[in-house]
Copies of this chain bind each other. A is one copy, B any other.
């Protein structure tokens, strides 16, 4: 009946993860356990969600895999880079996210996932002290070394396709510099000139991935692929890119809760968000320069959902503040606390507090899986450049700010865009209008 124009997902997919920490190992372990039937990949849209296709009497609900050709979990091969040499089993145990009973059944497979040396510059993550790093004289050498890693990994593991996923720490904030980041030519020149101020190591990873014909996913708030030069690179290599910053705890709730207020036409006076988290991510963010990157990412969420220009009586001049605090006692089990000051009939104030006792890696892992599978899908569907349909999974969705585009942060608008894209790639009508 319907017909997808997407290339089938044959053979192996190499999933190359930058960083082999809590998020990465939770993601890998869960996939390995799930394909043995020993764990459920809860939270992954590609594994659980069902999308309506057709209308009225023709309406039916299909899972993603029934609509488009997704890579099977059994066809995934994992690779990784890290500044520490511990293999994925050791790293998973160190991360202390999963219980022994949820790791041990796949110990053998995890032990075989041994990090390659990382491209690292301590100026971009002062709190990390790993030494399992490549000795590169310039950023361009980093690119070349990484391309080599990819080629070798692909050959050894007999992979048809590669996806690269950044699940490493947040780098220090790199302001967009239009003298460097504007064109591919400038970017490459800066890499060769070893402009260590404007070229973050993550840019070398992204460049290498695209150069090798692999989609690139930015899971941290780094601006890596959020620059015109990289968009040009994606065009040139005909590859999809997406980012940035996995939408996991507080922002997930915020992007879902703000619509409740907006839909009911309640007013907003202020929203205060604070986080405490204790894993390596928290440690890195305790450095003000790294936090800055994150803060910019987190603040934008609300502003694009509750808009003064649309409802001046309700959303003018509300006060929005986001704080992140390093707090080690609970490790990966981060916690968010939100105070929301709303107002109703005749302007009378009310308060809502949300306390989310979440787990960073448990929420991020299914997002990793979805972004990997859907980026690979996008590549096979011939979709090039920034993949806005993946905004659903991201705190700070990429958009072409040079043309004044605005990001979509509203959870249900993002969901509509996601569903329409899946429908379309599956040969169905993309029939949901974005309200």
- Give A contacts to B, CB under 8 Å: 26, 29-30, 33-34, 39-45, 47-50, 52, 55-56, 59, 98, 102, 252-253, 256-257, 259-260, 263-267, 269-270, 272, 274, 276, 310-311, 313-314, 318-319, 321, 323, 325, 327-330, 335, 337, 339, 341, 343-359, 361-363, 365-366, 411-412, 415, 419, 431-433, 435
Bound Cα distance from A41 to B348, whole angstroms: 11
Chain B residues near A351 (CB-CB < 8 A): 356-357
Bound Cα distance from A323 to B276, whole angstroms: 11
- Do A345 and B43 form a contact, CB below 8 Å, given A354-B353, A357-B351, A362-B350? yes
- Minimum CB–CB distance for A317 against chain B, Å: 10
Chain B residues near A41 (CB-CB < 8 A): 345-346
Q: Is the CB of B435 within 8 A of A433?
A: no
5 more A-B residue pairs beyond the given contacts A274-B325, A412-B412, with a C-beta to C-beta distance below 8 A? A26-B346, A41-B345, A55-B433, A265-B366, A319-B328
Q: How many copies make up the complex?
A: 4
- Minimum CB–CB distance for A43 against chain B, Å: 5
Contact sample, A vs B, 22 pairs, CB 8 Å cutoff: A29-B346, A30-B346, A33-B346, A42-B343, A48-B265, A52-B435, A55-B433, A256-B257, A263-B411, A272-B327, A323-B325, A329-B341, A330-B349, A344-B359, A344-B362, A344-B363, A346-B362, A348-B362, A350-B356, A351-B356, A432-B432, A432-B433
Bound Cα distance from A45 to B260, whole angstroms: 13
Q: Which of B52, B98, B259, B347 interacts with A256 by CB under 8 Å?
A: B259
Task: Return the chain B residue nearest A102 by Cβ.
Answer: B346
Top 4 nearest A-B pairs (CB, nearest first) are A270-B329, A256-B260, A48-B265, A269-B329
Q: Is the CB of A327 within 8 A of B319?
A: yes
Q: Is the CB of B352 within 8 A of A39?
A: no
Q: Is the CB of B30 within 8 A of A345?
A: yes
- Do A345 and B329 form a contact, CB below 8 Å, given A49-B265, A265-B49? no
Chain B residues near A102 (CB-CB < 8 A): 346
- Do A45 and B350 form a contact, CB below 8 Å, given A257-B256, A321-B327, A341-B329? no
Q: Is the CB of A274 within 8 A of B337?
A: yes
Task: Return the chain B residue nearest A270 by Cβ.
Answer: B329
Bound Cα distance from A45 to B257, whole angstroms: 18
Q: Is the CB of A348 within 8 A of B344?
A: no
Q: Is the CB of B45 within 8 A of A265?
A: yes
Bound Cα distance from A313 to B359, whole angstroms: 20
- Minimum CB–CB distance for A318 against chain B, Å: 8
Q: Is the CB of A42 within 8 A of B314?
A: yes
Q: Is the CB of B365 within 8 A of A345?
A: yes
- Do A346 and B40 form a contact, CB below 8 Å, given A253-B260, A319-B329, A353-B354? yes
Q: Is the CB of B350 within 8 A of A353?
A: no
- Minimum CB–CB distance for A36 against chain B, Å: 12
Chain B residues near A48 (CB-CB < 8 A): 265, 311, 313-314
Bound Cα distance from A347 to B362, whole angstroms: 9
Task: Return the chain B residue nearest A97 by Cβ.
Answer: B348
Q: Which of B266, B318, B319, B358 interacts with A43 by CB under 8 Å?
A: B266
Bound Cα distance from A55 to B434, whole angstroms: 9
Bound Cα distance from A341 to B357, whole angstroms: 10
Chain B residues near A264 (CB-CB < 8 A): 43, 45, 252, 256
Chain B residues near A274 (CB-CB < 8 A): 274, 323, 325, 337
Q: Is the CB of B355 within 8 A of A353?
A: yes
Task: Return the chain B residue nearest A256 by Cβ.
Answer: B260
- Minimum CB–CB distance for A350 against chain B, Å: 5
Bound Cα distance from A328 to B48, whole angstroms: 26
Chain B residues near A257 (CB-CB < 8 A): 256-257, 260
Task: Return the chain B residue nearest A416 by Cβ.
Answer: B435
- Minimum CB–CB distance for A429 against chain B, Å: 10
Q: Which of B42, B265, B337, B354 interacts with A346 by CB under 8 Å?
A: B42
- Do A270 and B348 form a contact, CB below 8 Å, given A52-B433, A263-B412? no
Bound Cα distance from A43 to B39, whole angstroms: 37
